[in-house]
Amino acid sequence: MFETGESSEEPKPARIIKLVTPRFQTLVGYVLQIVPKDILQSIIDSEPQSTIRIIECMDPHNAQFRRNRFASITKKWPTPECLKGVNWQEKMGIPLRDQKSHDVCWAIVVSELIRAVRLIENPNQDPKIRYSPQDLIDFSDPVKRREKKEEKEKGKGDHFCYTSNLTNGFKYVMKHGIQLEDDRTFSGCAEEVPDRPSTRLTFIKDYVKLDTIQEALIHLEHRPIGAALALFHPEYKDIGGKIYRGPMNHKSTFCGLHAVSLVRVGEENGEKYVLARSSHGDKFGCEGGYIKISLEVMLAYIPIAGERINKYIEKYFGKPRYLLRRFSYPRLLTEEEEEIKRNMYQDKDNSWLLDQTDAAEKNKQSTTFGMLFLFQ
The pLDDT score that the predictor gives to residue 296 is: 96
The pLDDT score that the predictor gives to residue 375 is: 32
Candidates 166, 65, 63; CA nearest to 114 is 166
- Residue 301 belongs to some domain of the structure: no
CATH of the domain at 263: 3.90.70.10
Q: How far apart are CA 335 and CA 321, in angstroms?
A: 40
Q: What pairs with residue 322 in β-bridges?
A: 298
The pLDDT score that the predictor gives to residue 18 is: 52
Walk along the chain (376 residues) and give the pLDDT tens digit of each residue.
333 333 334 433 333 345 556 666 665 665 566 777 788 778 778 887 777 788 888 876 666 667 889 999 999 999 999 999 999 999 998 889 999 999 999 999 999 999 999 999 998 889 999 999 999 999 999 999 888 888 888 888 888 889 999 999 999 999 999 999 999 999 888 888 899 988 889 999 999 999 999 999 999 999 999 999 999 999 999 999 999 999 998 889 999 999 999 999 999 999 999 999 999 999 999 989 999 999 999 999 998 877 889 999 999 999 999 999 999 999 999 999 999 998 888 877 655 444 444 444 445 444 333 333 333 3
Q: Are residues 61 and 92 in the same domain?
A: no
Number of helices followed by number of strands (H, E) in the chain: 10, 13
- Residue 54 belongs to some domain of the structure: yes
Amino acid type, 38: D
- Residue 30 belongs to some domain of the structure: yes
Which of 59, 74, 89 corresponds to the end of one domain? 74
The pLDDT score that the predictor gives to residue 355 is: 47
The pLDDT score that the predictor gives to residue 65 is: 63
Q: Specify the DSSP class assigned to residue 198.
A: S
Q: Give how many domains the chain has, as a whole number.
A: 2
Q: Give the strand order in the sheet containing 53-58.
A: 53-58, 67-74, 297-302, 321-322
Q: How far apart are CA 113 and CA 227, in angstroms?
A: 11
- Residue 366 belongs to some domain of the structure: no
Q: How far apart are CA 242 and CA 293, in angstroms?
A: 9
The pLDDT score that the predictor gives to residue 23 is: 67
The pLDDT score that the predictor gives to residue 233 is: 94
Q: Are residues 27 and 7 in the same domain?
A: yes
The pLDDT score that the predictor gives to residue 350 is: 53
Structural domain that includes position 199: 81-296+321-331
Q: Are residues 176 and 253 in the same domain?
A: yes
- Residue 307 belongs to some domain of the structure: no
